[in-house]
A = this chain, B = another copy of it.
């Protein structure tokens, strides 16, 4: 029996949430789950419809993109996952979708502005949108460079990958992460909803200002950190 059975099961269940939450159609999207003690992650195989997916189909890969177990080819975005796991040692799961509103903002090349407390419950700033990749990066090691682009955007802008667990890759779409695969999926669903709310907000009032600092902090810290009082401890 595979030593990765539990990891594959976690990865499978998180992937199956994507069609359930209406974040993907057909074969779009992919979720991975990491096992830090073994230095590997499980990821969805490439191009397999969700309806046909089975736990044992998940592919086991290490952070240098070596396939350790699995009879199928892993997601074409695997190198992006690998680099994020290698660089951000605190994350336990990664999710990538082509959800409608998040992709639309990524195509528009705009960060999603923080307009309300639904947003501040999850992060205290705009959902970042990366710059474009250069032609060289696209024609080179594209998926690896996509990982670099995300990481460098966070570095350059001083964003915290602990607080900001989501990003729009310009022209492409949303990536999210979290302490485990389920939380990464949760963040993708929240990102889609925030993107949708922001587009309606702008239609209703094109001059909507961003949320003020006190309210951003209030909502974020009632859910996060040592003084949080949202949820069950």
Contacts and interface: CB of A to CB of B under 8 A. Distances in A.
Given A76-B222, A186-B26, A215-B133, A47 B107 contact: no
Interface in A186-230: 186, 189-190, 193, 196-205, 208, 211-212, 214-215, 218, 222, 229-230
A177 interface: no
A9 interface: no
Contacts of A199: 200, 203-204
A35 to B, nearest CB: 24
A155 interface: no
A28 B142 CA distance: 37
Given A230-B47, A232-B46, A103 B76 contact: no
Interface residues of A, number: 62
Interface in A93-122: 98, 100-101, 103-110, 115-118
Copies in the complex: 4
B132 A118 contact: no
A202 B202 CA distance: 12
A108 B117 CA distance: 12
In order of increasing CB-CB distance, the 5 nearest A-B pairs are: A47-B231, A108-B205, A104-B200, A107-B116, A107-B115
21 contacts: A26-B186, A27-B231, A28-B118, A47-B231, A48-B232, A76-B230, A100-B197, A103-B116, A104-B201, A105-B204, A107-B198, A108-B205, A109-B205, A117-B172, A117-B173, A118-B173, A133-B215, A135-B214, A142-B218, A171-B215, A199-B203
